[in-house]
Structures are given as C-alpha cells and as structure tokens.
Amino acid sequence: MGRYSKDKRDIYYRKAKEVGYRARSAFKLLQINEEYHIFDQVSRAVDLCAAPGSWSQVLSRELYKPEKKDVKIVAVDLQEMAPIEGVIQIQGDITSKKTADEIINHFEGKKAQLVICDGAPDVTGLHDMDVYVQSQLLLSALSITAQVLCDGGTFIAKIFRGRDVTLLFAQLRVFFSEVACCKPKSSRNSSMEAFVVCRDFSIPEGFDVNQFALCLSGQYKNVPFPNKVNAEIVPFLACGDLCGYDSDKSYPLQLGEDEEEFVYHEPVQKPIHPAYSEYLNMKRKCVD
C-alpha cells in the first residue's frame, strides 16, 4: 500500500489532517452539533475516553469562541494524551469516584453542562459480544456522568446498534427526558456505530448515584432502579450535509480543478506509548 492510499480511501481522514484534527472522529461531533446545537450556552464540558483528543480539540475550538474566558474543558482517559490548548487533562479511570471528584474540583465545585464520550472497545468481529462490551462502557460513562453532570445537562455517547438497543434507550430515559439517536455523515455506513443525544438530565427521586458501582460489578438485583423500563422508540436522525462527502467512498487526491494542489500531511498527533510498540520493537529485532 502506498503512502497516499489512506488519503484516497478516507476523505474525512485526509480533511482532519488538513485542518489539524488528531482523528477523523472530530467531524462526527461537529455534525452532531450542526443538528442539535449541543454547544450553545455551554461553558463547562467533559470529554470521557478522550484519547487521542479530537473531540477535545473540537470543544476547545468551539467553546472558546468568541473570546469566552469562563470556559473550562476537562478530558479524561486511561492513556497518556498530548496536551491540547485550553483543555485540562486527567489520566484516570472513569469508573473511579476519585476521577469524578477531580473533575468537580477543576470546575471549582460546579458541575458540567455537557458530557461527551466517543469511547469504544477493540472490536472482535463478534457483533453480539462487541455490542455488549460497548453497552458496558456506556454504563461506565453514565455512572460518572451522573456524578458530574448538572440538572438539565446534555450527554452524548457512542453506541453500537444491536437487537437490544431499545432496552438501552429505555435505561437512558430514566435519567434524561429527551433521548435521540443519530448517525453523522462522517460515520461509515458499514459501521454499526451511532450516537445517543440525551438531554435534560435529572436524578430520579430516591436514586443514589453511588449505587452505579453495583451495576458495574454485576450486582444488578441490589440496585433499586426506578420502575420505568418501558420500551422506547427514539427518533433517528442522519447528521451532516447529505450532499457532502461519503465516508465509504474513495476520492481522488485532487478533488477538482478549483481545489488547491494536493499536499500530503503527516498525522497531527501520533500515539503516545501505544500498546503495540513492544511488538514493533520485537519485530525489528527479528528483522535485524
């Protein structure tokens, strides 16, 4: 495969490098905002599972304009992440109460108005398994969101659409009065990913957010969830310009006569201490 093959195959990957985003997923959040205006009136935001940081970059670019001085953005991930201007970084576990307390401390005792999460597991190809693991990750994100999100706040998260997705929507409706599902144009049609847009957050009466820990440990029967688990049919919306770029299509490097001459760009930020680095070192030693 040539140096430019990925630029040809993935127009959003190419455009992300051209405008300085660390990953193509930045366009997914931008297209969600085009439809739902999730950044309006937001000055405190949290990005969960933030690495490599493209969604944090979007928050930084969008929330700080025009000349907002009271904005605070916190990014959380287990992995080390290169710094982003205007973003406070926490290298921690989203299932930990300590991480939630640290987020609140950065907001000086206040809670976030927006929580976003683009986290996903390494897929196995076994769809039922991947959907289950992703739903558990979403539960972990919801656990910390319940501790750091203010009343009336908004929560955006990635989901994998499976046969039990209506149950997931019903669970989210326990905590949010408005739940919608959307798929940005920059998300490949071949991918089963979508995003939930949850608005108007509130803790149900009598529910203790600390009891989420029981859910994460598998002790569901000991959690007094509110009796509100009716199946939900939520709106599904395609986000982004439907006449825009197709994320599943290959494009020529020179898009048209009016386009500037193509210039190859290196990735904005390469991985820091990736898990596969040890394998690469071992492979190089074998070749040598």
Domain positions in the chain are 5-287
Q: Is 218 annotated as a binding residue?
A: no
Q: Is 151 annotated as a binding residue?
A: no
Helix, strand, coil shares, percent, the chain, to 5:
35, 20, 45
Clarify whether 285 is annotated catalytic.
Answer: no
Per-residue pLDDT of 182-214, as tens digits, reads: 999 999 888 899 999 999 999 988 777 776 666
- Asked if omega into 83 is within 30° of 0 (cis), the reply is no
* CATH, range 5-287: 3.40.50.150
Task: For residue 1, name the pLDDT band (cuts at 50, 70, 90).
Answer: very low
CA distance 8 to 228: 48
Q: What is the mean pLDDT of the chain?
A: 86
Q: Which of 28, 72, 158, 185 is catalytic?
A: 158
Per-residue pLDDT of 109-126, as tens digits, reads: 999 999 999 999 888 888
Q: Is 256 annotated as a binding residue?
A: no
- Residue 161: predicted pLDDT: 87
Q: Is 164 annotated as a binding residue?
A: no
